[in-house]
Amino acid sequence: MVGGAGYYAGKKIQEGREADADRDARLDEVETQQAAAPAAGGMSNDMIDQLGKLGQLHEQGVLTDDEFAAQKQKLLEST
């Protein structure tokens, strides 16, 4: 029974990781779409590049969700 429990626990951990990756991918897609929409309204290319870099750092796990949101908000408020 121990082997079965270990398998089940490992499977649940992997499912959680996959769900996290899917959530992050959807979030990044939405953020990319949101960043692209204001670009037509006058957002500078530099700002778009910075948002893209933040998104990459977040996707790579360098920034947590909270850190990413805070940095993104700070960048958007600077306009």
Domains of the chain by residue range? 2-77
Task: Pull the structure tokens for residue 62.
Answer: 């360098």
Instruction: Give the closest residue to 34 by CA, choosing from 21, 19, 47.
Output: 47
Query: Mean pLDDT, to the nearest integer, of 28-41?
Result: 63
What's the gap between Cα 59 and its chain centre? Answer: 5
Proportion of the chain in helix, strand, coil states, percent, rounded to 5: 85, 0, 15
Q: Which of 22-26, 39-43, 49-53 holds the top average pLDDT?
A: 49-53
- Specify the higher pLDDT residue, 29 or 35: 29
Query: Mean pLDDT, to the nearest integer, of 6-22?
Result: 76
Model confidence band, residue 66 (pLDDT cutoffs 50, 70, 90): very high
pLDDT at position 62 over 60: yes
Name the burial class of residue 59, with classes exposed (0-12), middle (13-18) and buried (19+) by CB atoms within 10 angstroms of its CB. Answer: middle
